[in-house]
Amino acid sequence: MRKLLFLLLSCVFLARCGVVKKNTSYSDNRSVHVAGDPAGEVAESDIGTTAQPDGDTIVESEKSMEETPADAVVETALTFTGVRYKYGGTTRKGMDCSGLLYTSFLENDIPLPRTSEMLSEEWKKIQVNKVQKGDLLFFKTRRGKAKINHVGLVVDVQKEEVKFIHSTTSRGVIVSSLQEGYWNHAFVKATRPF
Please give the positions annotated as active site: 97, 150, 166
Closest CA to 129 of 26, 38, 61: 38
CA distance 46 to 48: 7
3-state secondary structure of 175: strand
The Cβ of residue 113 has, within 10 Å, a number of other Cβ atoms equal to 14
Closest CA to 162 of 16, 36, 68: 36
Q: What angle do CA 61, 64, 66 make, to 5 degrees?
A: 80
The Cβ of residue 144 has, within 10 Å, a number of other Cβ atoms equal to 5
Question: Are 136 and 153 a contacting pair, CB within 8 Å?
Answer: yes
